[in-house]
Amino acid sequence: MKDRVIKPATNLRGEIKLPGDKSISHRALILSSIADGDCRITGLSNAEDVKNTKKCLQALGVSITKEKKSIVVHGRGMDSMKESGKILDAGNSGTTLRLLSGILAAQNFTTTITGDESLQKRPMRRIIEPLELMGAQIESQAFKAPLKIRGNLLKAIDYASPVASAQVKSCILLAGLYAKGITRITEPSESRNHTELMLKEFQASIQFSAGMAGIKGPFQLKATDIDVPGDISAAAFFLVAGCLLKDSEIIMPNVGVNPTRTGILDALVSMNAPIQKSEYIVLNNEPREKLVTRSGILMPTHLSGSIIPRIIDEIPILAIAATQANGSTTIKDAGELRVKESDRITTVVENLKKMKANIREIKDGMIIDGPTPLKGAEIDSYGDHRIAMAFSIAGLLAEGETLVKNTDCVETSFPGFYDILESLRHD
């Protein structure tokens, strides 16, 4: 496990190329694998999570080859997957496990899929129950991975999900591709809609709006090429860093700005962050823009309700921003953070207290009073990539050195994060 020493930075300046959006990359691989024909994917994320999706698909008989600037998924149709001779390993990727489960539920064979120690602690009842209602047979211990999935002929269902989760919604929609009739899912609030947009790109019969999606099956997807935009969840760390460090300017072209993902921009704008947007285009139904962040004086904000699913991955770095805002910031309705790679409410609060921030934990979030000068400290990432990256940014602001323990986990979502960070420093 690699530890990193983060030294304070004077400023950050430059233009950076972000990795491909992780969420879109997973979906591009999975939908291409059951399409009819070859699909070329450019801009695919090279994160470990996405590599695990690719490995699982290859273990199921999907042919994936590499070209100069793209990879080619040789889709051979909805029923082309073959039984794997081994247990599928999703690693740390909840997206891999949950989305693939939707497809495995419809296969004419049995598959066991699992993940690392962290993933085996995450809740799977949320996908097991709807898949069993559709006709799949799933064995598990206490509704946790590993899952043993016996595929079956599936039937369409109307399902009201108790949680707003793109992974749950996507799992059900992918299973719905194989079910006769219209499968509908409703959510308590809107979650990211990359799966719906990509299914539309693959010509599926799908309708969706905020909090609802329905798909008509069975349906054979048509092959299409996919261009993956830069990952806005990766951009979030640099958006905050550029705002907080004096005399900074960070330019990020081709960032995905899907409205279900731009909560980070809305949250930072509500904090008076000077973020500039330009060069808006749409490819494969996914909008993208150039983002420029500059130094600014942040104001406090209140984050709760419908924005939370749109910022759920960015709350750790928003908490860092809040420590420097002029007043009290409240984050509520974020209980889902407790079942991520770590309990991100507790890990953020504990680590920021080590850095002498004025923060307190509440049941479903945190309250942060600022501005508070941060002090260098020894930070435990708990093997959580977003905690490691958020506190690496915090270390740039702190007085003295900050030691972030176990930063290998950053490879899960953002290989090259520390190289990009170093390229922006001009101390």
129 three-class SS: helix
Cα-flanking dihedrals φ and ψ of residue 183, to 5°? Answer: -95, 125
Q: Residues with Cβ < 8 Å from 118, sequence gap 6 or more?
A: 92, 341, 342, 383, 384
Structure tokens at 232: 């806005």
Decide the pairing of beta strands 63-66 and 71-76: antiparallel
Decide the pairing of beta strands 328-331 and 302-303: parallel
Burial 104-142 (b: 16+ CB within 10 A, else e): bbbbeeebbbbbbebbeebbbebbbbbbeebbbebeeee
3-state helix, strand, coil in the chain (%, to 5): 35, 30, 40
Q: Is the dihedral of CA 30, 31, 37, 39 positive or negative?
A: negative
Residues 217, 29, 139, CA angle at the centre, nearest 5°? 65
- Which one from 21, 89, 313, 380 is the annotated catalytic residue? 313
Clarify whether 313 is annotated catalytic.
yes
Helix axes 22-33, 232-244, angle to 10 degrees: 170
Q: Is the Cβ–Cβ distance between 291 and 301 less than 8 Å?
A: no
Residues designated as active site: 313
